[in-house]
Amino acid sequence: SITTSRGLGGKLQIGIQYSKIARKYDQIRFGDELGRKKSLGDAIIIRRLMFPLSNGLVLDLGCGTCRISKVIREVSEESMLVGLDISREMLSVCSEKNVADLLILGDSEKLPFREGSFDVVVSYRLLSLPVDWERIVSEVSRVLKVGGYFLAEIGNSMSIGGISNGIKKVLGRETNYRTFHIWKFLKVCEEQSLFPVKIVGMHHIHWRLVPRKFLDLWLETELRLGNTLVKFLASRLHVLLMKEVS
């Protein structure tokens, strides 16, 4: 079943747009070879970053069709997994996959949870949508326990795609895809007592040149190398942060 929280307001428009494609979303985004590589890369990184910290209460923020929730469940069968999204139809698809313990129709900018409720919050794709991302970061910090973790995936403004996106905006072309300057993102997180533990980059080379059967080994090598400047040129960044005492 799907629980509805109050105060969705204007965010319903985003939900309506996603509801229109909910049944076809996984096929549209991840149905071809490139999409399957992207999905596999996400799964590999989530498994590596979340494996030691996924027990307890986990929130998949903007869970959509529960693609990421499924990976979280594979990592930790013992966790209590809550999925929240603005689209009822996306949650309906998610419900059919039977991976989340609770699904909530709600607003990520006004989370219907008490302070310090969750051990882990995961957010994929959400922060790149036309949302108040700083408000979302504030809400994530509020509902996280001290010592809890926030795993966020964001578009990188320093990548080729991010620069192209910036040029389009300068030329007055509409784009709903947000990218981030990593230092600004980390600064806003720090203001909310969220401090980086690890940053992993996903490069176009992973998706276009590395065969799927070697993707696991390739990313495992990168994860072992630690943070490098090259990561900040990646098209997408996976940022693991821990909440400390404010």
Which residues pair with residue 133 across a beta bridge? none
The structure tokens listed for 186 are: 């980390």
pTM exceeds 0.85 for this model? no
**Across residues 103-119, what is the average pLDDT?**
94
For residue 108, pLDDT beyond 90: yes
Rounded to whole angstroms, what are the CA distances from 38 to 6, 32, 68, 107, 183?
Answer: 34, 10, 12, 26, 24
pLDDT attached to residue 47: 80
Q: Would you state the pLDDT for residue 107?
A: 92
What confidence tens digit (pLDDT) does each residue in 150-201 have? Answer: 999 887 665 545 445 555 554 555 555 567 678 889 999 999 999 998 887 7
What pLDDT, on a 0 to 100 scale, did the predictor assign at position 29?
Answer: 76
d(CA 158, CA 88): 34
Which one, of 123, 81, 89, 125, lies nearest residue 105 by Cα? Answer: 89
Q: How many CA atoms lie within 13 A of 40 on its CB side?
A: 21
Residue 146: pLDDT band by 50, 70, 90 thresholds?
very high
Question: What is the biggest distance separating any 2 CA atoms in the chain, rounded to whole angstroms?
Answer: 50
Helical H runs in 104-237?
A: 133-143, 160-170, 182-191, 204-208, 212-225
Q: Are 41 and 65 in contact (CB under 8 A)?
A: no
Say which residue the tokens 């799927």 belong to. 212
H or E element at residue 58: strand 57-61
Whether 147 has a pLDDT exceeding 90, the answer reads yes
The Cα 65–Cα 18 span in angstroms is: 10
